[in-house]
């Protein structure tokens, strides 16, 4: 993909004296990670196709501080939080959507005490609301009848009790949704949370993402659906480790919807 | 002379309950060594949690076999306590089966107690089998070696013996009733002990009375010993599950608390009007030494976390759900709770001995919980979700990481790199913040 997608920034909106309907919080993975950037683009395409008036913070966005907080660095977390809140409050942000459950959890739960109170949605919740409002159509297209299993991101599921929004969207794709034996509140972590993404695992006899990939492979899926850029990386690595990358794709829910419609 | 049994009984009762209260006060004192945390909000939700999770056992039955067995033992123990009330009244006043005037209701009650006692006995045997014959993995983790393993079994033996004594007492009583002996009035129904009773046929009246009295005394003394054993074991959950579920965290599981002490400093740093060289205001100066960030010992944790530690009954559901533990890492959330309780007891004993805490050169960090365990956590909340009594091992892990990073700068190198990237570039990777929207042009 080399075409430029129109992505307005808050600064541009401000210059025109307008306010968007929603701020799209892209997050660090969505901005810099090659795999996650594809998710970001797919989500933006869906926003355009649903005529959502959105903007990003662009160069004014900075890490929410989640990995620093989970690593124990409360100072760095709060410095990040307070800086981000200052920017968002200056733009009088009311509603935020993000494709990263870690950003989602932090913005939604840990920013209010520091003065940043927004209506925060995960992108699967937001897409579900667009669907319910009739602004977005989700159709099976090329995924119709495919076996898909959904891996619950810890920070969306257990952390915030969001289990159904991504599943409702997948069902709309007319796919065969197969649950892993450990799913929803019993879902096994991919191994990336709590800042593990950024360090080598402690000594053990297996990597967590391999354990989780084995759960997914048991369902004999065509596609493993994820709702988190970090889970996506971990599961993609797991599938490669099992040498199944030719037959099994790991895709974000937003990518599935966008690709189904050839957006 | 005829009042000697009554006097002995009252002495045993007062001593048993008195010693228990003394130890419970120690538990409360130790829990109060923790820092303050506000858990006074939303009482309705808290009562609901206590009713559902502790009283209603809603999270226990998520694992149906253990859950149903546990409910049998739990209901049995609660209801059989009505019988203990009768035993206590009989013991103090020298009466026999004081509630027997209830007639058919009494028959029903005694019958129910017997059936429950039998079910408890069977349940406990199955629990024992799961631990020792089937050897369920979660009862054989490294932290379960030695005392924790014996403690678990000892509790089961206690319950087996108590239930047996109760049924033997009734069986002997039934024989005596049939003999029409003395004050052994014909009362109660004996659906279980009627099958034990034939074993005692042909015994003399004297032997039967000795057997009945012996079982009666051993039963009530056993209950008092068991009551006092709680404090020395993992078994306090039968009491503490109630306050622990009431005071459990109501926030979404993903939400970690924001350290207020840090907020003050961050706000000061961000305030363009703040004078960095200003002397602290008088009210601040009075606060004494600056607050320690995070936790390296039990006194740095809050009281709810310490209550968690005393409540843990080492069932190991947390550990069996933990992704780190399942993949062979050293971390076991159950061990985090056991270590916290063991260290807290050590600190309590230190206070008992010295009047106030005297530095013993030990702490929770390193002497009990290693950094390897702390850094293996993915903060996935599986342990918190799994706990049947609302314990959060995760919150202790996070507070200890805070100490490691903010007080000791002892994060793993990779994480230090990640954090310096966030500080310098606003992202955990070394990318320039100015490139954040480049993806739209690629």
Q: What is the pLDDT of residues B351-375, one digit of tens each?
A: 999 999 999 999 999 999 999 999 9
Q: Categorize the per-residue pLDDT at B197 as very low, low, confident or very high, splitting at 50, 70 and 90.
A: very high
Supply the mean pLDDT for chain B: 94
Q: How far is CA A96 from CA A62, A105, A125, B102, in A?
A: 15, 12, 11, 67
What residues contact residue A116 under an 8 Å CB cut-off, 6+ apart?
A81, A84, A85, A88, A89, A107
Residue that wins the pLDDT comparison between B111 and A4: B111
Asked if residue A57 is part of any domain, the answer here is yes
Q: Cβ of B265 and A75 within 8 Å?
A: yes
Residues of chain B in contact with residue A31, where contact means CB-CB under 8 angstroms, are 427, 431, 435-439
The sheet carrying A147-150 orders its strands as A176-177, A147-150, A223-226, A249-252
Q: How far is CA B209 from CA B165, B183, B216, B235, in A?
A: 14, 11, 10, 34
Q: Across the interface, which of B253, B372, B434 has its CB nearest the CB of A158?
A: B253
Contact A189 B419 (CB under 8 A): no
Report, at the CATH architecture level, how domain B4-31+63-235 is classified. Answer: Up-down Bundle (1.20)
In this prediction, residues A174-186 reach a mean pLDDT of 97
Q: Is the pLDDT of residue B284 over 50?
A: yes
CATH of domain B260-271+289-432: 1.10.1060
Asked whether the predicted pLDDT for residue B279 surpasses 70, the reply is: no
Percent of chain B with pLDDT over 90: 87
A191 and A248 assigned to the same domain: yes
Cβ contacts (< 8 Å) between B387 and chain A: which residues? none
Q: What is the mean pLDDT of residues B324-330?
A: 98
User: How high is the ipTM of this complex?
Assistant: 0.95
Looking at residue A1, its pLDDT comes to: 46
Could you tell me if A42 and A90 lie in one domain?
yes
Residue A122 — φ and ψ, nearest 5°? -75, 150
Q: What is the CA radius of gyration of chain B?
A: 28
Is pLDDT of A205 > 60?
Answer: yes
The domain that holds A99 is classified in CATH as: 3.40.50
Say if residue A247 is in the same domain as residue A188.
yes
Interface membership of A192 toward B (CB under 8 Å): yes
> What tens digit of pLDDT does each residue of B391-439 get?
999 999 999 999 999 999 999 999 999 999 999 999 999 999 999 999 9
Domain final residue pick, A131, A147, A166: A131
Regarding whether A187 and A123 lie in a shared domain, the answer is no
- Decide if pLDDT at B291 tops 90: no
Cα–Cα distance measured from residue A186 to residue A181, given in angstroms and rounded to the nearest whole number: 9
Q: Is residue A4 part of a domain?
A: no
Does A15 share its domain with A112?
yes
Which residues is A177 bridged to in the sheet? A148
Number of domains in chain A: 2
Closest residue in chain A to residue B411, using alpha carbons only? A71
Measured in degrees and rounded to the nearest 5, phi and psi for residue A223 equal: -140, 140
Residue B124 has pLDDT above 90, yes or no: yes
* A114/B382 Cβ within 8 A: no
Pairs of CB atoms within 8 A across A/B: 233
Q: Are A213 and A238 in contact (CB under 8 A)?
A: yes
Tell me: the pLDDT tens digits for B59-93? 999 999 999 999 999 999 888 888 899 999 999 99
pLDDT(B272) > 90:
no
State the average pLDDT over residues A43-68.
97
Same domain, A15 and A93: yes
Q: Report chain A residues whose CB lies below 8 A from the CB of B415.
A: 71, 195, 198-199
CB within 8 Å: A204 and B328: yes
Q: What percent of chain A clears pLDDT 70, i.e. is strictly above it?
A: 98
Contact B254 A1 (CB under 8 A): no
Q: Does residue A2 lie within any of the structural domains?
A: no
pLDDT digits (tens, 9 = 90+) for A139-150: 878 899 999 999
Whether residue A1 lies inside any domain: the answer is no
Q: Measured between beta carbons, which residues in chain A are less than 8 angstroms from residue B423?
A: 76, 79
Residues A117 and A30 in one domain: yes
Per-range mean pLDDT, top range of A239-243, B77-81, B201-205: A239-243
Whether A122 is covered by a domain: the verdict is yes
Say which of B294, B423, B442 has its CB closest to residue A2: B442
* Residue A152 shares a structural domain with residue A231: yes
Q: Which of A41, A63, A108 sits opposite B427 (nearest CB)?
A: A63
Whether A117 has its CB under 8 Å from any CB of chain B: the answer is no
Domain boundary, last residue among A90, A110, A131: A131
> Against a cut of 0.90, is the pTM above it?
yes
Whether residue A230 sits in one domain with residue A171? yes
Residues A108 and A82 in one domain: yes
pLDDT higher than 60, residue B288: no
Question: CA-nearest residue of chain A to B317?
Answer: A186
- The last residue of one of the domains, among A103, A131, A159, is A131
- B327 CB neighbours in chain A (<8 A) are 191, 201, 204-208, 210-211
Give mean pLDDT, residues A180-198. 96
> Rounded to 10 degrees, what is the CA torsion of A105, A109, A112, A114?
-80
What are phi and psi for residue A56, nearest 5 degrees? -115, 165
| pLDDT for res B290 | 64
Output the pLDDT for position A180.
Answer: 98
Q: Average the pLDDT over each of A105-109, A231-235, B185-189, B385-389 and give the range with the smallest value.
A: B185-189
> Domain segments of chain B: what residues?
4-31+63-235, 260-271+289-432
Over range B36-47, report the average pLDDT: 96
The neighbour count for residue A221, using CB atoms within 10 Å, is 25
Say if residue B282's pLDDT is above 80.
Answer: no
Query: What residue numbers bound the domain in which A56 lies?
Result: 10-131
To test the contact with chain A by mutation, choose from B58, B249, B295, B380 the residue with the greatest count of A C-beta atoms within 10 A, namely: B380
Question: Residue A261: what pLDDT?
Answer: 84
Q: Which DSSP state fits A50? A: T
Do A101 and A145 reside in the same domain of the chain? no
pLDDT mean over B22-32:
97
Looking at the fold, whether A146 and A232 belong to one and the same domain comes out as yes
Q: Give CA–CA dist B52/B94, Å, rounded.
A: 40
Residue closest to A69 by CA, chosen among B309, B140, B258, B71: B258
Interval B157-183 mean pLDDT: 94
Chain A residues with beta carbon closer than 8 angstroms to that of B429 = 28, 32-33
Q: Among partner residues B262, B380, B415, which is closest to A75 by beta-carbon distance?
A: B262
pLDDT at B265: 86
Q: Which residues of B touch A2 (CB under 8 A)?
A: 442
């Amino acid at each position: 993909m080399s075409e430029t997608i129109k992505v307005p920034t808050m600064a541009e909106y401000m210059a025109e004296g307008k306010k968007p309907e929603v701020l799209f919080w892209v997050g660090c993975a969505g901005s810099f990670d090659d795999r996650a950037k594809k998710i970001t683009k797919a989500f933006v395409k869906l926003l355009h196709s649903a005529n959502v008036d959105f903007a990003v913070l662009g160069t004014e966005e900075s890490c929410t501080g989640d990995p620093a907080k989970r690593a124990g660095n409360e100072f760095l977390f709060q410095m990040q939080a307070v800086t981000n809140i200052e920017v968002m409050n200056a733009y009088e942000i009311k509603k935020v959507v993000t494709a990263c459950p870690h950003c989602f959890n932090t913005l939604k739960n840990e920013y209010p005490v520091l003065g940043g109170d927004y209506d925060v949605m995960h992108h699967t919740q937001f897409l579900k609301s667009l669907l319910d409002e009739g602004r977005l159509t989700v159709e099976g297209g090329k995924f119709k009848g495919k076996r898909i299993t959904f891996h619950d991101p810890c920070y969306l599921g257990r952390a915030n009790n969001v289990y159904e929004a991504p599943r409702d969207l997948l069902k709309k794709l007319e796919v065969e949704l197969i649950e892993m034996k450990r799913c929803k509140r019993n879902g096994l972590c991919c191994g990336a949370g709590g800042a593990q993404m950024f360090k080598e695992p402690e000594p053990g006899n297996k990597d967590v993402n391999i354990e989780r990939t084995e759960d997914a492979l048991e369902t004999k899926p065509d596609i493993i659906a994820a709702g988190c850029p970090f889970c996506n990386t971990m599961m993609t690595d797991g599938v490669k480790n099992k040498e199944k990358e030719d037959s099994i794709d790991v895709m974000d829910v937003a990518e599935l919807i966008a690709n189904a419609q050839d957006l | 002379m005829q009042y000697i049994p009554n006097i002995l009984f009252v002495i045993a009762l007062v001593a048993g309950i008195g010693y228990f209260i003394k130890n419970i006060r120690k538990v409360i004192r130790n829990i109060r060594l923790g820092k303050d945390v506000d858990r006074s909000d939303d009482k309705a939700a808290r009562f609901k949690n206590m009713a559902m999770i502790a009283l209603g056992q809603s999270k226990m039955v998520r694992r149906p076999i253990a859950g149903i067995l546990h409910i049998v033992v739990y209901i049995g123990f609660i209801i059989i306590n009505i019988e203990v009330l009768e035993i206590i009244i009989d013991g103090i006043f020298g009466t026999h089966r004081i509630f027997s005037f209830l007639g058919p209701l009494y028959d029903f009650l005694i019958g129910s107690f017997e059936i429950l006692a039998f079910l408890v006995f069977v349940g406990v045997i199955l629990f024992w089998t799961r631990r020792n014959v089937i050897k369920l993995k979660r009862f054989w983790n490294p932290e379960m070696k030695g005392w924790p393993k014996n403690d678990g079994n000892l509790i089961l033996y206690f319950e087996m013996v108590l239930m047996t004594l109760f049924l033997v007492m009734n069986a002997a009583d039934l024989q005596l009733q049939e003999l029409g002996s003395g004050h052994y009035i014909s009362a109660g129904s004996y659906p279980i002990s009627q099958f034990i009773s034939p074993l005692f046929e042909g015994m003399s009246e004297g032997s039967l009375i000795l057997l009945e009295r012996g079982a009666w005394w051993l039963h009530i003394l056993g209950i008092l010993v068991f009551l006092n054993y709680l404090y020395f074991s993992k078994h306090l959950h039968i009491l503490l599950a109630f306050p622990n579920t009431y005071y459990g965290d109501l926030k979404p599981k993903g939400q970690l608390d924001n350290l207020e002490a840090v907020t003050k400093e961050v706000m000061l740093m961000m305030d363009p009007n703040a004078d960095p060289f200003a002397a602290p205001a008088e009210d601040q100066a009075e606060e004494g030494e600056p607050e320690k960030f995070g936790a390296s010992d039990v006194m740095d944790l809050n009281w709810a976390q310490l209550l968690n530690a005393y409540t843990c009954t080492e069932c190991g559901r947390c550990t069996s759900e933990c992704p780190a533990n399942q993949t062979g890492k050293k971390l076991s959330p159950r061990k985090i709770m056991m270590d916290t309780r063991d260290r807290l007891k050590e600190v309590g004993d230190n206070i008992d001995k010295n009047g106030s805490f005297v530095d013993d050169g030990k702490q929770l960090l390193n002497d009990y919980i290693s950094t390897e365990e702390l850094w293996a956590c993915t903060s996935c909340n599986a342990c918190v979700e799994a706990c049947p009594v609302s314990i959060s091992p995760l919150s202790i892990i996070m507070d200890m990481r805070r100490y490691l990073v903010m007080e000791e700068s002892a994060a793993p190198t990779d994480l230090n790199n990640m954090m310096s990237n966030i500080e310098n570039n606003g992202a955990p990777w070394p990318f320039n913040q100015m490139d954040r929207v480049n993806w739209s042009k690629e």
